[in-house]
């Protein structure tokens, strides 16, 4: 991941005009797609360990290679870090053709976060913080529903934890996420540029070294 990364470009010039109407539609019509049996099996494996440990959880959704989750586990030794990503190729450095990794205070799961989030909601996981680190921006104007704040799962995701942190290298994504959070929670949300002193993920390092401006959206 050492090659230079291109800055996100889009014909969209501001917060999407359909964002608010889409969120209101999703609030009125909860996401009910059936779970994949594979995801349910992985979740139950993690759930058993988590219930036995009884530790506060930091969730790293879309953790990519798992390096961000590993960094978080070193920075938060009093918590259990749970990283989730559906990419077999990215997570193979830790999982080695398996679907589950468990060592010290780090759990990595190969599964679809959309399934896992809904199962977490029905469980007793004590999530103290939820990270969404550099998700795919889906920058085309017709790709709003692929962004987390435009997806039908967004209200379900917000119910998992009060403390959410998104990081992105596309300002419009950050602005939309902030607007979506404020619309659903009716609380103030902070959007700021990141002054990097310690990289939290390989993507963050790559984007910083490519000269990108980095943004963070956080709930209080």
- Over residues 152-167, the mean pLDDT reads 95
For residue 70, what are the contacts with CB-CB under 8 A and spacing of at least 6? 81, 94, 106
For 53, the token pair is: 């440990």
Q: What integer best gives the mean pLDDT of the chain?
A: 92
Output the pTM of the full model. 0.94
pLDDT by residue (tens digit) across 94-112? 877 678 888 899 999 999 9
For residue 121, what are the contacts with CB-CB under 8 A and spacing of at least 6? 156, 159, 160
Give residue limits of the domains in the chain: 19-219
Of the CA atoms within 13 Å of residue 14, those in its CB half-sphere come to: 1
pLDDT at 50 over 80: yes
The position carrying tokens 């036995």 is 52
Alpha helices in 128-219 (DSSP H): 154-158, 171-185, 202-209
Instruction: Identify the architecture of domain 19-219 in CATH.
Output: 3-Layer(aba) Sandwich (3.40)
Nearest to 44 by CA among 130, 157, 105, 123: 123
Residue 104 falls in which region: left (phi positive, over 0), alpha (psi -120 to 50) or beta: left
């Amino acid at each position: 991941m050492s090659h230079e990364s291109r800055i996100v470009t889009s014909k969209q010039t501001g917060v999407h005009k359909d964002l608010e109407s889409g969120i209101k539609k999703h609030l009125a019509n909860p996401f009910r797609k059936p779970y994949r049996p594979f995801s349910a099996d992985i979740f139950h494996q993690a759930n058993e360990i988590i219930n036995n440990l009884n530790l506060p959880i930091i969730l790293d959704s879309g953790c990519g290679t798992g390096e961000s989750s590993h960094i978080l586990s070193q920075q938060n030794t009093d918590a259990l870090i749970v990283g989730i990503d559906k990419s077999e190729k990215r997570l193979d450095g830790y999982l080695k053709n398996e679907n589950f990794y468990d060592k010290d205070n780090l759990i990595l799961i190969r599964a679809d976060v959309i399934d896992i989030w809904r199962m977490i909601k029905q469980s007793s996981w004590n999530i103290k913080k939820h990270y969404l680190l550099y998700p795919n921006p889906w920058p085309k104007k017709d790709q709003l529903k692929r962004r987390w704040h435009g997806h039908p799962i967004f209200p379900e995701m917000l119910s998992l934890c009060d403390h959410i942190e998104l990081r992105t290298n596309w300002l419009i994504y950050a602005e939309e996420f902030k607007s979506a959070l404020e619309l659903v929670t009716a609380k103030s949300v902070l959007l700021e540029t990141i002054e990097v002193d310690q990289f939290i993920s390989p993507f963050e390092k790559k984007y910083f070294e490519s000269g990108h401006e980095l943004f963070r959206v956080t709930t209080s």
